[in-house]
Structure 1
Amino acid sequence: MSSAPNHGTGTGGTVTEAGPPAVAAPGRLQQVFSHVKVENLIAGLSGGVVSTLVLHPLDLVKIRFAVSDGLELRPQYRGIMHCMKSVWALEGLRGLYQGATPNIWGAGASWGLYFFFYNAIKGYTKEGRDTELSAGEHLVSAAQAGILTLSITNPIWVTKTQLILQYGSDPTSKQYKGMLDALVKIYRNEGVPGLYRGFVPGLFGTSHGALQFMAYEELKRGYNKHKKVPSEAKLNALEYITMAALSKIFAVATTYPYQVVRARLQDQHNTYNGVADVIARTWRNEGVTGFYKGIVPNLIRVTPACCITFVVYENVSRFLLGTK
């Protein structure tokens, strides 16, 4: 979220009259890296992989609805269950897990890197302070982590989208045998720009992860304050699930249209002249509802996915950090 979740890093030096950035940047980077913990990477990766394995078929449904712009080659679905039954009838379980390999790699890498960068940036921001971070600082830390993560993982998301949009009813759309084949062919035919389709709306999508993490942190802090315990006190599984679900619903409701724009840019069956063209054509042909296509299967998928990811992350990270 693959899933999730995405602004500069805020870690480099700034050119000023007082001196060159070459002196400041290494010092700041060293401070940031002092807060890096591989345990956060492993815990985030674990959460992303587990949630993707469980819920990938709903991701497939969401993407197919998101790009349903009237092209004749696309199968027509009446709803979530009809879509899943149609795919199952044509291709079985394998059809429901089209694009699962890049999704697992992408979700695992994205959640792992996101938590990895986020905790490092948050630790650096908080260094030497007795006060807790504000909501705005959580927002900025999460946005910076999202940009770094997206820069690394965007090619995986392009292959995932194009694999999912290979329709069993249309043999001519079966261009790729798998994730590596897709990566090679996209690079061969379109070069690096092909692997970074949808990157610009993906950058807007970093606001999704930033809003989600800000809401999650503020909900945890407010809840622990209400209980009169330290803000970082461990919660039980149900409490983590509640905080994760509320923060995810808030973020999805606020930022969903960018996911439709991004999926359409990454779709191999249509050609757009950039983000503005997608927005204009979607608005002209489908109105405001076009920007919210697939939101129901998306909410059904991402809310439990987020809950699974955060519960696994919180428990694995505490176990690993506690063991260390």
Structure 2
Amino acid sequence: MKSSGNTSNYKSTLFGHVKYEHLVAGISGGVTSTLILHPLDLIKIRFAVNDGITTTTPRYLGLRNAFATIFRQEGLRGLYRGVAPNVWGSGSSWGLYFLFYNTIKTWIQGGDVQKPLGPPLHMLAAAQAGVLTLTITNPIWVVKTRLCLQCYDLDTQKLPDAKRYRGMVDALRKIYMYEGIRGLYKGFIPGIFGVSHGALQFMAYEEMKNRYNQFRGVPINSKLSSFDYLLFAALSKLFAVVATYPYQVVRARLQDQHHNYRGAWDCTQRTWTYEGFGGFYKGLSANLVRVTPATMITFLVYENVSRFLLSLRIPVEDRSAS
């Protein structure tokens, strides 16, 4: 009796709802989509930081021109600059995000995964998961951005040693050495605002899944077809990107070694002054081309891997219960 009571109390706590399967499935989805679509992410970043003033950043006429120019000047390796921290960042971010989100969501549900939460609580769980994930992974995203932007100045002069990186570890070391902890957390504030992106996306994704299952007359956590997962993932991502893209531009510019802003507000003011409203949406087309299929791949892999792993847990729990 005492043991049963302790188990019940443990299950009622937040940590009692932690399931590693969501972490593994999220990592699997993030890594898979990143390896396939990294070149588009690199081009999106280069478009985002091009303010039309700084001469040390490359300029492209469009998505096709960017691909051709990078491949001609830097080769295939150039299209995969920053892929290592991107794999680490995307894998860890998606893994941690899904882990935190499902843990918080299940805790709010009181352990009843068939209990619908509604848009506000879905957004709350997603926002909390986003803040926790960003706090852990921001240094990786700074390194990824800088490696993606590492190129020679247009006057063929090399960047100074402090801003020239040989790889992920070297970038982490130099950023910490020359800029301290603050350098590793550049873009963190707009990143916090960007938590709204994940909150909107997960809210839309969960609501579409729940309402569709209710329409079918089955429990809200019932398995959907691959097409359904792909469709809902794409629609939720499009909704979130259009609503929150400006923060990604500001964040990328703050992390870019070629720019020197005093902070997020200074970056926002200068972008508005010199580029207007359109400056906050630079790279949007490349971003949509990249993130929409990336999200579809990530969510499809996550849903299938997590369900498979969780199905392995059931017999063990049944045996222990008996």
Q: Is the 8 A contact 2:21 2:310 kept in 1?
A: yes
Distance in 2, Cα, partners of 1:275 & 1:295: 20
SS at match of 2:261: coil
Partner Cα distance (2:157, 2:186) in 1: 24
* Alpha-carbon displacement from aligned partner over 1:246-305 (angstroms, at most 9, x marks no partner): 000000010000000000000101100111100100000000000000000000000000
Q: Where do 1:151-190 residues align within 5 Å?
A: 151-168=135-152, 170=156, 172-173=158-159, 175-190=164-179
Q: 1:128 to 1:35 in 2, by over 3 A?
A: closer
CA distance in 1, matches of 2:59, 2:178: 29
The alpha-carbon deviation at position 28 of structure 1 amounts to 9.3
**Cα distance change of structure 1 residues 133 and 61 upon mapping to structure 2, 3 Å threshold:** same
Q: 1:29 to 1:183 in 2, by over 3 A?
A: farther
Q: Distance in 2 between the 1:128 and 1:202 partners?
A: 30
Q: Does the alignment pair 1:43 with 2:25?
A: yes
Deviation at 1:132?
Answer: 1.8
Task: Report the counterpart of residue 76 of structure 1 in structure 2.
Answer: 59
Shift in alpha-carbon separation, 1:29–1:179, aligned structure 2, 3 A? farther
Say whether residues 1:119 and 2:108 are aligned partners: no
**Alignment correspondent of 1:223:** 212
State the Cα distance separating 1:72 from its structure 2 match. Answer: 1.6
Q: Give the number of the structure whose alpha-carbon radius of gyration is greater.
A: 2
Report SS of the residue matched to 2:141: helix
Deviations 1:75-128 (A, max 9, x none): 220000111111101111100000000000000000000000001101111116
Give the structure-1-normalised TM-score. 0.89
| TM-score, length basis structure 2 | 0.90
**1:29 positional shift:** 11
CA contact (8 A) 2:57 2:258 kept: no
1:131 deviation in Å? 4.0
Aligned equivalent of 2:132: 148
Q: Name the Cα RMSD after superposition.
A: 1.5
SS class of match (2:14): helix
Call closer, same or farther: CA 1:51–1:228 in 2, change over 3 Å.
same
Mapped to 2, the partners of 1:28 and 1:264 lie a distance apart of 45
**Contact 2:237-2:292 at 8 Å conserved across structures:** yes
Instruction: Note the residue ranges of structure 2 that are not aligned, 5 or more in a row.
Output: 1-8, 314-322
Q: Which runs of 4+ in 1 moved over 3 A?
A: 27-30, 128-131, 168-171
Letter in 2 for 1:198: G
In the alignment, the residues of structure 2 paired with residue 205 and residue 252 of structure 1 have an alpha-carbon distance, to the nearest angstrom, of 10
What residue is the counterpart of 1:319 in the other structure? 308
Q: How far 1:54 moved relative to its partner?
A: 0.3
Asked if 1:263 corresponds to 2:263, the answer is no
Q: Which string of whole-angstrom CA distances, capped at 9 and with x for unpartnered residues, describes residues 130-158 of structure 1?
A: 74212100000000000000000000000
Which one-letter code corresponds to 1:303 in the other structure?
T
SS at match of 1:256: helix
Taking a change above 3 Å as real, the CA distance of residues 127 and 29 of structure 1, as seen in their structure-2 partners, is closer
Q: 1:90 aligned to 66, 69, 73, which one? A: 73
Q: Which letter maps to 1:179? A: M
DSSP 3-state at the match of 2:17: coil
Q: What SS is found at the alignment partner of 1:308?
A: helix
Provide, for residues 60-81 of structure 1, a one-character-per-residue CA deviation record: whole Å limited to 9, x for no partner: 0100000111212222200001
Partner of 1:303: 292
Partner of 1:109 in structure 2? 92
**Does residue 1:212 correspond to 2:196, yes or no?**
no
Distance in 2 between residues matched to 1:142 and 1:310, nearest whole Å: 15
Change (3 A) 1:29 1:261: farther
The letter for the 1-side match of 2:34 is T
Structure 1: 5+ residue runs without aligned partners? 1-26
Q: Secondary structure at the match of 1:264?
A: helix
Q: How does 1:53-72 map to 2 (within 5 A)?
A: 53-70=35-52, 71-72=54-55
Secondary structure of the structure 2 residue equivalent to 1:172? coil
Aligned length: 298
Contact persistence 2:138–2:188 (CA under 8 A): yes
1:193, distance to aligned residue in structure 2 (A): 0.2
2:141 and 2:290 map into 1 onto residues whose CA distance is 17
